[in-house]
Amino acid sequence: MIKLLRVDERLVHGQVALAWTNSLNADCIFVVNDAVRNDKLRLTTLKMAVPAGVKFVSKNVEDAIDALNSGKTDKYKMLVVVDSVVDALRIAEGSSVVESVNLGNMKNLEGRRQLTPSVYASDEEIAAIKELLARGVEVGCQAVPTEANVPVETLI
């Protein structure tokens, strides 16, 4: 079961590994990313940030969709982490298990506009957000669990 699908360009780090995992009582961090899945060094680094007792799984987007649809992941309380809104949309399009998306950290890069202090989005990303909303997926901005979740439609 997906407890939270989070967009965070850093993937696994202190906020994800500790604050979010603890607040959700998650027992699995599921990193979904096409590039990271084939980068052994980065995978090893991400695994080192995962708290003891929490399972770490990484798959590319296509394989993650297959796993979510198969029911194999139902036994876990998962924190699913992607590094882009486009990947979150791909998962939502390929699977019926995505009910909400948390925009946690999207860097201030050229071509992006600020939505919150930690979330910046390009026109393409805003289009993906709007598509998620059109599919009935709730999308909110929340950097850490102690902050209020701000519905993204109030920001775009």
In the predicted structure, residue 16 carries a pLDDT above the cut 80? no
Q: Can you tell me the distance from the alpha carbon of 47 to that of 32, in angstroms, rounded to the nearest whole number?
A: 13
- In DSSP notation, 17-70 reads IIIIHHHHT-SEEEEE-TTGGG-HHHHHHHHHTSPTT-EEEEE-HHHHHHHHHH
**Model confidence band, residue 56 (pLDDT cutoffs 50, 70, 90):** very high
Amino acid of residue 45: T
b/e per residue, 54-78, with b = 16+ CB within 10 A? bebebbbbeebbebbeeeebeebeb
Give the start-to-end residue ranges of the domains of the chain: 2-154
Q: Can you tell me the distance from the alpha carbon of 27 to that of 118, in angstroms, rounded to the nearest whole number?
A: 26
Query: In terms of pTM, does the model score above 0.85?
Result: yes
The residue annotated as part of the active site, out of 1, 13, 51, 69, is 13
Look up 13 and say whether it is catalytic. Answer: yes
For the stretch 23-50, pLDDT in tens is 999 999 999 999 998 899 999 999 999 9
Fold of 2-154: Fructose Permease (3.40.35)
